[in-house]
Amino acid sequence: MERVEAAEAGFDPERLARIDRFLDERYFAPELLAGAQLLIAREGKVVHFSTAGKARADGPAMGEDAIFRIASMTKPVTSIAFMMLVEEGRVTLDQAVETVIPEWKGLGVYNGGGAGVPFLTRPPERPMMMIDLLRHTSGLTYSFQHRTNVDAAYREGKIERWHGGLDLDGFVAALADIPLEFSPGTAWNYSVSTDVLGLIVERVSGMKLDRFLEERIFGPLGMADTAFHVPPEKTGRLGDCWAFEQGKGAVLYDKGEKSAWSAPPRMLAGGAGLVSTVADYHRFCSMLLNGGELGGERLIGRKTLDLMTVNHLPGGADLTEMSRSLFSEAINAGQGFGLGFGVNLDPARTMLPGSKGEYYWGGMFSTAFFIDPVERLHMIFMTQLMPSSTYPIRRQLKTLIYAALK
C-alpha cells in the first residue's frame, strides 16, 4: 500500500492521531471490541493505517494481514460485477428479472395470509426490473427484519443459510413460493436482492459467481485474500467473530480456527458471503475513486460508475420516505441509494460532516467503508462484532476523520 505523510495529504497529524487514542479509550481498553483495523487514504495513498487488539480471544495481537468476514460489503462487489455485464450489452437495468429467472414468472405481492395460513397475493403494479435488485426496491426482504409474515416465511424456510441445502438456483426457486412484500419500485427494503443479483451474474455470464469475481475483479486488482471462503493455509489469519447479546455483552459467534468460512459454501452469497482484508478492500475502493481503473486495469467505465453512485430512488426520494426496513447499514436521513451503494444526498440532514455525493456501505459484523469523491478520500474499518448497530462507532469515526482535514 502506497503511503503518504498526513500533512502532505491535507490532514492535521495531531487530529489524525487522536483517532487511535479515541478507539483505544472508548472501545479497546473497556473490551467493547476485541480488535480492529482502520485505513484512511487520500487520492488512493494511505494516510493512516492502524491495527489494535487481538484477532482471536486466545491469540496474539492482530496482524496487519488479518482476514475479516465483510458480510454486506460484498454487495458493492457483486453490483460492480453486474454492471460490467451491462457495459457489455448482455443485460440492461430496465430488463425484467423474470427474463433471466423464469421461475419468478407470476410472482405476486403479499395480500394476506401467512403464519400457517396460505398466502393471498395480488399482481405487482409492474414487473421487477434489474434496477430494483441493485437499489433494493424489489419487494424482497431479509429474514431478520421481523416485520411481516413474508420475512417470517424466509425464516421458516431457512433460505438464507449459505451452508444449508440450497445453492443459488435452489435459493431463487424457494423465493418463488413466497410473495413480495410490496410492488417493485414502490418502496425500499434492505433485502436478499444482491444475492439474487449474484445468480443473474452467473446465468448471464455463464460462469459461477466465485469464478467471475476472481477472474474479472479480484485477479485484475490484486485482491489475493478476497473470496467466499478461507483456504487452509490462510485460516490462521481469520479472527474470531462476536455477537452482542443484551445482558451478556460479546458472545463468541464464529471461532476463527473452526470458522464456517473455512469451507466453501453451498450458496455463493453475492450479498454477504465474502471475506477480505483491509489491503484488498483498499484496492477495490481505490479503483472506485479512480473512476473504475487501477494500475492499468480498467474494470468499469467512468460514466457507468457515475451512474452507480447517484440516487436512484424513485422521485429523488431519500430513505426516510422510502424505507420499510427495521434494519439496514444506512442512517436514513439525507441518504439515497444508488446501484449498490448508499449515497449521501444532504450532509446537513445526516447531522454529520461529509460531502454530497459520498457513497458507502457496511456489513453486519460492524465493518464499514465510505468514499468521498469531493475530498478524494476513502476509509475502511474492519472489526468482527454483530450487529453493526451495537455501537455508534461509524458516526464517531466519520466525525473524527473529517475533523482532521485541514
User: What local confidence, expressed as pLDDT, does residue 160 receive?
Assistant: 85
Mean pLDDT of 239-246: 94
Is 23 a residue whose pLDDT tops 90?
Answer: yes
Cell output for 37: 483495523
Is 162 a residue whose pLDDT tops 80?
Answer: no
Q: Is 353 helix (H, G, I), strand (E, B) or coil?
A: coil
The overall longest dimension of the chain from CA atoms, in Å, is: 65
Distance CA 139, CA 184 (A): 5
pLDDT digits (tens, 9 = 90+) for 40-51: 999 999 999 999
- CATH 3.40.710.10 segments of the chain: 13-76+225-403, 80-205
pLDDT digits (tens, 9 = 90+) for 284-328: 999 999 999 999 999 999 999 999 999 999 999 999 999 999 888
CA 303 to chain centroid, in Å, comes to: 22
Task: Give the confidence band of 88 by pLDDT, cuts at 50, 70, 90.
Answer: very high
Q: Is 18 helix (H, G, I), strand (E, B) or coil?
A: helix
Inter-helix orientation angle 393-403/13-23, to 10°: 160
Is 164 a residue whose pLDDT tops 80?
Answer: no
Fold of 13-76+225-403: Beta-lactamase (3.40.710)
- Report whether 184 contacts 137 (CB < 8 A): yes
pLDDT averaged over the chain?
Answer: 96
User: What local confidence, expressed as pLDDT, does residue 50 receive?
Assistant: 97
User: What local confidence, expressed as pLDDT, does residue 330 receive?
Assistant: 83
H helix count then E strand count, the chain: 13, 16
pLDDT digits (tens, 9 = 90+) for 254-287: 999 999 999 999 999 999 999 999 999 999 999 9
Mean pLDDT of 374-400: 96
Distance CA 306, CA 347 (A): 19
Q: State the DSSP code for 164.
A: S
- What lies within 8 Å, CB to CB, of 79 at 6+ separation is 134, 194, 197, 308, 339, 340, 341
Report whether the peptide linkage leading into residue 387 is cis, meaning its omega lies within 30 degrees of zero: yes
Which residue's C-alpha cell is 444449508? 164
List Cα–Cα distances, 212 to 82, 85, 163, 283, in angstroms.
Answer: 10, 11, 20, 18
CATH of 80-205, picked from 3.40.190.10, 1.20.210.10, 3.40.710.10, 3.40.50.720, is: 3.40.710.10
Of 268, 264, 72, 82, the closest CA to residue 170 belongs to 268
Q: Measured between alpha carbons, how far apart are the two ends of the chain, in Å?
A: 23
Q: Which residue has the higher pLDDT, 331 or 355?
A: 355
